[in-house]
Amino acid sequence: MFKLDEIKELIKLVDETSVQELEIENEGTRLSIKKPSTQEVVSLQAAPQTFIPAPQVVAPQTVQTGQAPAQASQEAAAVDSNSALHKIVSPMVGTFYRSPSPEAGPFVSPGDRVDEKTTVCIIEAMKLMNELEAEVKGQIVEVLVENGQLVEFGQPLFLVKAD
């Protein structure tokens, strides 16, 4: 059985990360925390189902400012050039690590050349370290996440200029 303090801590953890859903089972009790786009709902399932409302998640809003036409076209060109790049995405939810150990250097950095079998990072999921390969031949343009950051399934991790 989950204690109220444990549930509160898990809700806070999910709220502070980009994780959209978390399911945990302990001694026959299943805890499911989901973060939809408008509201976060937590359900605790034993024999009967109980819902515990969680804090509402508010999406950040941006304010448009007047831009010079030249600046707007430069930003549009930057977006178009990024769309031509290959994205290496996370195959699972887990913790992103750029290096094999805290003392070691990163597997790859911007400017590094990679091929299909080059290890680019590790995703830790359920205490298992999963090496992720580039799957494309080219040059790393940008690393999109920070070391130790929690990543989601399908989240872009690297941009690669494919050969």
- Give pLDDT, residue 20: 78
Q: Look at 95 and 56; give whichever has higher pLDDT.
A: 95
- Give pLDDT, residue 79: 42
Q: Look at 29 and 101; give whichever has higher pLDDT.
A: 101
Q: Which of 23-27, 67-71, 116-120, 155-159 has the lowest mean pLDDT?
A: 67-71
Q: Write out the DSSP string of 68-121.
A: -HHHHHHHHHHHHHHHTSEEEE-SSSEEEESSSSTTSPPS--TT-EE-TT-EEE
Q: Indicate whether this model's pTM tops 0.75.
A: no
pLDDT class for 53, splitting at 50, 70, 90? low
User: Which pairing describes strands 86-89 and 94-97: parallel, antiparallel, or unpaired?
Assistant: unpaired
- 83-162: in CATH 2.40.50.100: yes
- Give pLDDT, residue 50: 46
Q: Where are the domains of the chain?
A: 4-53, 83-162
Residue 104, pLDDT above cutoff 50:
yes
Q: Which of 4-13, 37-46, 93-102 has the lowest mean pLDDT?
A: 37-46
In angstroms, how far is the first alpha carbon of the chain from the final one? Answer: 53
- Give pLDDT, residue 99: 94
Residue 48, pLDDT above cutoff 50:
no
Cβ-Cβ contacts under 8 Å for 133 (sequence gap 6 or more): 116, 117, 118, 119, 120
Per-residue pLDDT tens over the stretch 113-149: 999 999 999 999 988 999 999 999 999 999 999 999 9
What is the average pLDDT across 45-65?
48
